[in-house]
Structure 1
Amino acid sequence: MLFLLLFCFSLGITIHSHIFHRSTFINSANFISGGVYGTVTNISDYFSLKTYNNRLIDENIRLREELLKNGISEIDSTVTSSTDSTTNYVLHRAEVYKNSYKAPKNYLLINKGSHQGIKEDMGVITSGGIIGIVENTSANYAVVQSVLNTNSQINASLKNTNHFGTLSWNEKKDYRKVQLTDIPKQANIKIGDTIITGGMSSIFPKGILVGTVEKFTFNQSGNAYIIDVKLNNDMTNVGYVYIIENKDKNEIEQLLETTENE
């Protein structure tokens, strides 16, 4: 027993002090936990098929309505390929195997990884709005940092005015709300206003739904708002997600880095 205790202690030190060992440990843990949660999810999905089918039907209706508004009558039935050859974004579909929403730092585990083209810092959404950002990947799984994570910071804006700020989560609040800060006091804000992604980063395109304004106050200095945003997504019930790939992400980041270093 003493040998096992010392062995585990030394193994922990090795993992935390060496980048290669830590990376290998994370990938292995993702693989094992992904397999276990995959089996559990397959069983629970069997009893939730009607709910998922209704959601898919609703989403298809919304997509066709948007296509009709833009004068398009047909759409490619696959989600994994772009419907517009000129777009900079491609969507990948994935299933959620694990989801937390009550801890200070919440994560989701999805069943797509580097072998399927998923990379760190890709945005994750559903038909209802934003979910989070990919943080780590293994071959066939990925861990997503939830929007309900105290480390999460996402650019978002008021749809009606285009004033933008930082979307974060106060763990003392509940899982149905996030906070939008740094909105200047000149902005005309009303209860019920729509909050969307601001498009000021290479992760999320502009216009992805976040939620609606539920309450707002001034910060301590009195020059900016602190807004409570009611999430459009039900973060306790996330089954399938879309991962956003920005094909121009590397080019944009290299250009910004070059500019900042000048």
Structure 2
Amino acid sequence: SEVDSLPYVPNFKFITATVIKNSYSAYNNYLTIDKGTKDSINVDFGVISSKGVVGIIDNVSKNYARVLSVLNTKSRINAELKKTNHFGSLKWDGKSPEVVQLIDIPKQAEIKIGDTIVTGGLSTIFPKGIPIGSVQSFNLDETGNYFILDVRLFNDMTNLGNVHVIENINAKEILSLEPTDE
């Protein structure tokens, strides 16, 4: 089954859900899935498909959860170049439902068209190494110090059926160590 192809990731739990509503043509897109608090789903859980990252849960009721899609201009996900581990922030410019942007990649990074982008390790939401997409193009930003990469998503965000919700079992403990006076 599809679930068997998911990597075994220690300290993360996977719960399968079905997408019952999905927008991808607006500026800020969301999905709704058929699992909620009764299924131990909570805000800030990651959502992936068998092909890659879908988004992050930002609202939850007893039976349903709303997912902030990667196709949302408010979305920010820690992501990295798989081959070099240079990391940055994944965001969306609101244009194509097939392409997101990876920003803040230092200009020292060696990048090639087609390089794979995966989730980074600096997140309590996603395990490191979940596929996101491949580099379609890249340019230096206005400072000249960082690359902006156009990343073609592995997921067809317009056609999602089953997804997997990810719970980081240690997230609360990790977050409790971070300073709260910022």
Same-fold status (TM-score > 0.5): yes
Identity of aligned residues (%): 54
CA shift digits 1:123-143 (9 cap, x unpaired): 000000000000100000000
Query: What does 1:50-199 correspond to in 2, within 5 Å?
Result: 56=1, 59=2, 63=5, 87-171=10-94, 173-199=95-121
In structure 1, runs of 5+ residues without a counterpart are 1-55, 67-82
The C-alpha deviation readout for 1:23-65, integer Å capped at 9, x for no partner, is xxxxxxxxxxxxxxxxxxxxxxxxxxxxxxxxx5xx36x729x
Matched residue count: 182
Residue of structure 2 in register with 1:43 after alignment:
none
Report the Cα distance in structure 2 between the residues aligned to 1:156 and 1:237, rounded to whole angstroms: 23
User: CA–CA distance in 2 between the matches of 1:140 and 1:154?
Assistant: 26
Q: Give the residue type in structure 2 aligned to 1:110.
A: I
Alpha-carbon distance in 1 for matches of 2:55, 2:25:
15
Contact 2:5 2:50 in 1 (8 A): no
Whole-angstrom CA distance in 2 between matches of 1:63 and 1:136: 28
**One-letter amino acid matched to 1:136:** N
TM-score (norm 1): 0.67
The gaps in structure 2 that reach 5 residues or longer are none
Q: Aligned letter for 2:17?
A: A
Distance in 2, Cα, partners of 1:98 & 1:250:
29
1:207-218 paired onto structure 2 within 5 Å: 207-218=129-140
Q: Which structure dedicates a bigger proportion of its chain to helix?
A: 1
- Higher Cα Rg, which structure: 1
| SS class of match (1:187) | coil
What is the distance in 1 between the residues matched to 2:44 and 2:77? 11
Equivalent position amino acid for 2:92 in 1: W
TM-score (norm 2): 0.95
Equivalent in the alignment of 2:162:
240
Structure 1 CA distance, aligned partners of 2:47 and 2:77? 12
Greater percentage in strand? 2
